[in-house]
C-alpha cells in the first residue's frame, strides 16, 4: 500500500505534470544562465563560483535533488507503507540527517580554503580567494540539501509531483533577480573589473543560498498539509522503516559522493586552463536543460513503479518497465544528440553570446557541448538502471561500481586532457558512464533471469543510425543557411536553429518509425491525442 490512500495516478499523468513543471523551471533556468553570462562571461567571478559550488552542488543537486539518494530512498520505502506510518519515519530520518549535515556545514566553513585547493590548486590567487569566500557563504546548503531531498521523496511518495519539479524555479528566480539588479546598477563592463569581483561573488553565493531556503520552506508547507511529517525532533531509529531508508540511502550517498570525487579530480585537471570550469558549467547547463526535463519525466514516475515490481513474481513486468525507461529516454535524447553535435556553435551563440560572453567564449563552450551531446543518452541510461537497483533494495552494487569508476575516471582524465584539453575531460566522463551502464545491464541480466538484450541491441542500433543520418542532414542544412543568409544576429540564428533542428527531428522520426518500437507508439499516440484536442 502506498502512502497515498487514493488510487495512484498513471505514469502518463505523472509524466505530463512533471514535464510541464520541469519545463517551466528549466526555461527560467535558461534566463538565469543568460543573465549570468551577460554579467560575468566566463571570467574570474563565475570561474570561482564553479569551484566554490562543487561541494554545495554535491549536496543540493546530487544528494538533495530529484532522483538523488534522499529522494530515492524515501520513495522506495514510503511507497510500500501506509500513510499513517509515514510521518514518524520522515521526522526521524529528518532529525538524524540534519544533525549529521549541520556538523558538515560547520566543517565546510572552517576548511573552505583546503576544500578549494583540492580541486583548484592551479587557480589564479584572485580566483581562489573569491571561491573560498563563496564556499563559506554557501556552506549551509549542505543542511538545506538534506531537508529539501527528504521533502522531495516524501511528496513523491504521496503522489505529489508538481512542487518537487517546479521548486528549483525558486532558486533560479532568486539568483536571476540578484544578478540582474547588480547588472542594472553597475553594467557588464564595470562588473568585469577587479574592484567589483568580490561584490559579484557575494551576490552569486548569497542568492544561491536564499533560493535554497525558499525551496525548503515551500516544500515544508505542502508536506505538513499532507500529514507527512513536521519539524518535530525524533531520535527513535528503531521505528519500522527508518533503518530501511538508511540501508538504501547510505550506500547511495556514498556512491553519489564518488561523483563528487570524480568532479574534484576533473576540475583539478583543468584548473590551469583559464575559464575552463565556467565554460564546462555553461555547456553542462545546455545539456542538462533537456536531460533534466526528460530525466524527471522518466525517472520520477518510474521509480515508485520499479519499487512496486521488485518482487520476483513481478519481474516480467519490471523488465518491460526497464525497457520503457531506457527507450523513452533514448527516443527523447537521441534527436537532441543529433542537434547538439551538428549545431553546437549556433546553439551556444544564440543562448549566451552577449555582454561579457564573446565569440571566443562561444567557441570554447561549443567544443564542450559537442562532446556532451554525444554522451547524453549514456548519462540517462545509467541513471535509469541505478534506480532499478535502488528499487530492488540494492544500494551496494552502484556503490561498488562508483568506486571503480573513480580510478577509471582519473586514468582517462590523465590520458585525454593532455591530448584534447577541456573536451577530453568530458570524453573521460562519457567513457566511465558507458562502462558503468554496461556493467549494470550485465548484472541485471543475470539477476532478473535474463533480459532480451539481442532485441534491445537491435532496436538501439536502429536508433543510432537514425541519429547519425539526422545529425549529418542538420549540419548540412545549417552550413547552407549560413552561406546564404548568414547568422550574425539573433533572428538569423533562430532561423538557422529552427530549420536545421526541424530537419534533424523529422529525419530521426521517419527512420525510427520503421523500427516499430512500442515506446514510439506510446509517444506518438499521446501526441495525436494532444493535437486532436
Q: What is the mean pLDDT of residues 373-384?
A: 90
Say whether pLDDT at 531 is over 60.
no
**Residue 419: is its pLDDT beyond 90?**
no
3-state helix, strand, coil in the chain (%, to 5): 85, 0, 15
Q: What pLDDT, on the 0 to 100 scale, is given for residue 299?
A: 61
Mean pLDDT, range 417-429, rounded to an integer:
91
* pLDDT category of residue 4 using cuts at 50, 70 and 90: very low
> What is the average per-residue pLDDT within 387-394?
85
Read off the pLDDT of residues 164-175 as tens digits, 9 standing for 90 and up: 666 777 888 899
Confidence of residue 21 (pLDDT cuts 50, 70, 90): low
Q: Between 354 and 350, whose confidence is greater? A: 350
Report d(CA 98, CA 47) in Å as an integer. 30
The region of weakest confidence among 131-140, 148-157, 482-491, 500-509 is 148-157
Calpha distance 145→89 (Å, rounded): 18
Please state, in angstroms and rounded to a whole number, the distance separating the CA atoms of residues 336 and 349: 17
Asked if residues 60 and 145 have their Cβ atoms less than 8 Å apart, the reply is yes
What is the per-residue pLDDT for 41? 85
Share of the chain above pLDDT 70, in %: 81
Q: For 278-331, how does the pLDDT look when each residue is reduced to its tens digit (9 = 90+)? A: 899 889 888 887 777 776 666 667 767 887 888 889 899 999 999 988 998 899
pLDDT band, very low/low/confident/very high, at 250 (cuts 50, 70, 90): confident
For the ranges 15-29, 104-118, 356-370, the lowest mean pLDDT is seen at: 15-29
348 pLDDT exceeds 90?
Answer: yes
- Residue 6: per-residue pLDDT: 46
- Of 349 and 398, more confident: 349
Q: Is 239 a residue whose pLDDT tops 90?
A: no
Looking at residue 468, its pLDDT comes to 97
**pLDDT number for residue 1:** 41
Q: Is residue 3 over pLDDT 50?
A: no
CA–CA distance, 342 with 177 (Å, rounded to integer): 34
Q: How confident is the model at residue 464 (pLDDT cuts 50, 70, 90)?
A: very high
pLDDT score of 255? 65
Confidence of residue 18 (pLDDT cuts 50, 70, 90): low
Q: Looking at the predicted structure, is the pLDDT value of residue 232 above 90?
A: no
pLDDT of 7 over the 60 cut: no
Given a contact cutoff of 8 angstroms between Cβ atoms, the answer to whether 165 and 17 are in contact is yes
Say how far apart CA 384 and CA 302 lie, in whole Å: 9
Residue ranges covered by each domain of the chain: 11-527
How far CA 122 is from CA of 62, 110, 268, 276, in Å, comes to: 26, 21, 8, 12
pLDDT reading at 19 higher than 70: no
Query: Which residue did the predictor score with more confidence, 528 or 425?
Result: 425
| Helix axes 344-352 and 359-391, enclosed angle (nearest 10) | 100
- Minimum mean pLDDT among 15-24, 188-197, 208-217: which range? 15-24
The most confident of the ranges 1-10, 19-28, 284-293, 370-379 is 370-379
* Most confidently modeled range among 16-20, 346-350, 392-396: 346-350
Residue labelled with grid coordinates 561584490: 199
Q: Which residue has the higher pLDDT, 8 or 524?
A: 524
pLDDT at site 5: 45
Residue 277 has pLDDT above 80, yes or no: yes
Model confidence band, residue 209 (pLDDT cutoffs 50, 70, 90):
very high
Residue 260 has pLDDT above 90, yes or no: no
Q: In this predicted structure, which of 213-217, 235-239, 368-372 has the lowest mean pLDDT?
A: 235-239
| Residue that wins the pLDDT comparison between 396 and 336 | 336
The span from the CA of 179 to the CA of 248, in Å, is 39
- List b or e across 290-316, with b for residues whose CB sees 16 or more CB atoms inside 10 angstroms: bbbbbbbbbbbbbbbbbbbbbeeeebe
Contact partners, residue 80, CB within 8 Å, separation at least 6: 1, 2, 307, 308
Amino acid at each position: 500500500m502506498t502512502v497515498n490512500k487514493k488510487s495512484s495516478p498513471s505514469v502518463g499523468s505523472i509524466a505530463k505534470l512533471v514535464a510541464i513543471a520541469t519545463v517551466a523551471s528549466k526555461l527560467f533556468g535558461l534566463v538565469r544562465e543568460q543573465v549570468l553570462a551577460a554579467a560575468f562571461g566566463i571570467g574570474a567571478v563565475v570561474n570561482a563560483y564553479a569551484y566554490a559550488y562543487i561541494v554545495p552542488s554535491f549536496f543540493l543537486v546530487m544528494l538533495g535533488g530529484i532522483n538523488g539518494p534522499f529522494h530515492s530512498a524515501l520513495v522506495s520505502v514510503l511507497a510500500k507503507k501506509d500513510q499513517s506510518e509515514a510521518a514518524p519515519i520522515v521526522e526521524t530520518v529528518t532529525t538524524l540527517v540534519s544533525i549529521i549535515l549541520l556538523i558538515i556545514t560547520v566543517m565546510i566553513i572552517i576548511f573552505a580554503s583546503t576544500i578549494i585547493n583540492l580541486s583548484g590548486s592551479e587557480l589564479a590567487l584572485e580566483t581562489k580567494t573569491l571561491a573560498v569566500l563563496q564556499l563559506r557563504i554557501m556552506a549551509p546548503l549542505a543542511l538545506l540539501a538534506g531537508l529539501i531531498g527528504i521533502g522531495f521523496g516524501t511528496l513523491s511518495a504521496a503522489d505529489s509531483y508538481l512542487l518537487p519539479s517546479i521548486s528549483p524555479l525558486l532558486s533560479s528566480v532568486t539568483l536571476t533577480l540578484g544578478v540582474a539588479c547588480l547588472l542594472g546598477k553597475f553594467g557588464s563592463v564595470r562588473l568585469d573589473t577587479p574592484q567589483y569581483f568580490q561584490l559579484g561573488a557575494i551576490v552569486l553565493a548569497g542568492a544561491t543560498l536564499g533560493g535554497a531556503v525558499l525551496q525548503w520552506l515551500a516544500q515544508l508547507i505542502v508536506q505538513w498539509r499532507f500529514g507527512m511529517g513536521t519539524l518535530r525532533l525524533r531520535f527513535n531509529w528503531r521505528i519500522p522503516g527508518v533503518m530501511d531508508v538508511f540501508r538504501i540511502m547510505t550506500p547511495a550517498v556514498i556512491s553519489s559522493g564518488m561523483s563528487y570525487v570524480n568532479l574534484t579530480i576533473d576540475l583539478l585537471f583543468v584548473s590551469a586552463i583559464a575559464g575552463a570550469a565556467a565554460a564546462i558549467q555553461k555547456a553542462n547547463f545546455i545539456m542538462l536543460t533537456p536531460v533534466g526535463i526528460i530525466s524527471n519525466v522518466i525517472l520520477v514516475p518510474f521509480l515508485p513503479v520499479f519499487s512496486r515490481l521488485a518482487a520476483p513474481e513481478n519481474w516480467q513486468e519490471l523488465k518491460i518497465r526497464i525497457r520503457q525507461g531506457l527507450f523513452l529516454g533514448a527516443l527523447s535524447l537521441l534527436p537532441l544528440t543529433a542537434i547538439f553535435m551538428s549545431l553546437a556553435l549556433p546553439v551556444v551563440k544564440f543562448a549566451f553570446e552577449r555582454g561579457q560572453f564573446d565569440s571566443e567564449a562561444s567557441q570554447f563552450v561549443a567544443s564542450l557541448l559537442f562532446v556532451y551531446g554525444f554522451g547524453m543518452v549514456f548519462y540517462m541510461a545509467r541513471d535509469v538502471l541505478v534506480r532499478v537497483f535502488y528499487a530492488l533494495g540494492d544500494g551496494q552494487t552502484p556503490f561498488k561500481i562508483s568506486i571503480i569508476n573513480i580510478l577509471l575516471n582519473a586514468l582517462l582524465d590523465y590520458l585525454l586532457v593532455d591530448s584534447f584539453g577541456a573536451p577530453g575531460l568530458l570524453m573521460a566522463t562519457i567513457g566511465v558512464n558507458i562502462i558503468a551502464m554496461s556493467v549494470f545491464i550485465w548484472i541485471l541480466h543475470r539477476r532478473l533471469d535474463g533480459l532480451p538484450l539481442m532485441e534491445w541491441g537491435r532496436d538501439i542500433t536502429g536508433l543510432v543510425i537514425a541519429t547519425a543520418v539526422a545529425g549529418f542532414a542538420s549540419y548540412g542544412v545549417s552550413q547552407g543557411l549560413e552561406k546564404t543568409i548568414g547568422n550574425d544576429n539573433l533572428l538569423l540564428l533562430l532561423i538557422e536553429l529552427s530549420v536545421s533542428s526541424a530537419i534533424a527531428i523529422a529525419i530521426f522520426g521517419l527512420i525510427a518509425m520503421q523500427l516499430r518500437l512500442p515506446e514510439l507508439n506510446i509517444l506518438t499516440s499521446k501526441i495525436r491525442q494532444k493535437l486532436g484536442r
